[in-house]
Amino acid sequence: MTAAGVQTIIYPVKDLAKAKPLFTALLGVEPYADEPYYVGFKAAGQDVGLDPNGHAKGMTGPVPYWHVTDLEERLAALLEAGAELLQGAQDVGGGRLIASVKDPDGNLVGLLQDAPA
């Protein structure tokens, strides 16, 4: 089973009110999701998110999310290979699952599985 590639990157931000206009200017689009807990943009085939709770969840910088077809299987493989669990599988709405780990060098790696179509 292979990953579909990095299609989502989430930035931990301390102040959504300051971060939102910066990313709107960078990406040249308005957010498709604008909630107190998450602001999301779609630009050039990428999903770029701003998470005001990211720092509290252990995010030390932007986290690339690899899109996978079986999140639980891929998460187990990463943990077996030496990754440290940061966030177990969590449904973030509409059946979309995310999880994240830290590799032995401290790099953050996210997994994302969309709900079946």
> What predicted TM-score, i.e. pTM, was given to this entire model?
0.85
Rounded Cα distance between 115 and 43, Å, is 21
Tokens of 43: 């630009």
The third-level CATH classification (topology) of the domain covering 5-113 is 2,3-Dihydroxybiphenyl 1,2-Dioxygenase; domain 1 (3.10.180)
95-109: per-residue pLDDT in tens?
999 999 999 988 999
58-90: per-residue pLDDT in tens?
888 999 999 999 999 999 999 999 999 999 999
Alpha carbon distances (Å) from 60 to 4, 13, 57, 63: 24, 10, 9, 8
